Amino acid sequence: MTVRSGVEELLGVDIDAGLCQLALTHRSYAYENGGTPHNERLEFLGDSVLGQAVTVLLYTTFPQLPEGELAKRRAALVSTQALARIARSINLGPSILLGKGEQQTGGSDKDSILADTMEALIGATFLSAGQAVATDLVERLVEPLMNDEDTFGSHIDPKTSLQEVAAAQGLPAPHYSVDFSGPDHARVFVATVSVGDVSGTGTGTSKKHAEIAAAHHAYEQLTA
């Protein structure tokens, strides 16, 4: 069984061979193989498809919930942690193409890499089979999480949880700043979030992941 056919079997969809290969190609692998294309553009597309599908699913499934609660649940279902859980549930990690450095540091089980690859595969599905099939895929992937209490905990959506606890304690809204270092293929982002006199820091392979880590750090301090 090829990697492509294995992934298609895991997802239950037909994906163009080239797009599937692209979706599974991490930037570290691309750098070590002559600058071949990697999955970040597909990740960008998949993130949009995922967000729209989850928004519609929540709106139709929970007609009694107010906007604020719907927004919180959406943020949890499209979070890095939730997508990584989905990726692990289908054993996606071994299929991701990684550079040697990422392989040696357990990249195939890192939340950020698993989540990004899931988004890229959703984007590849959209381009290969259209919006309806991509939406159906998203619904099948996230529905098991919708009735799981762990999905909506603070560890799943730290940024929203931090904003809520700050408001409850009469503190100003969280303010984020992000710096980065390193070459394009191995860039590291460092985020700092300030909430009154409390600050949290976090690192990640993207601005989003660094901000999430920083929010979690600050949240732990405010709720200690």
As annotated, the active-site residues are: 47, 119
Distance CA 70, CA 53 (A): 13
CA 95, 37, 131, 75 dihedral sign is: positive
Q: Are 215 and 80 in contact (CB under 8 A)?
A: no
State CA 172 to chain mean position distance.
27
Selection from 134, 100, 94, 111 nearest residue 7 by Cα:
94
Distance (Å) of CA 153 to CA 44, 53, 72, 131: 26, 21, 10, 30
Helices (H), 78-197: 80-89, 100-104, 111-129, 131-146, 158-168
Selection from 205, 182, 183, 162 nearest residue 191 by Cα:
205
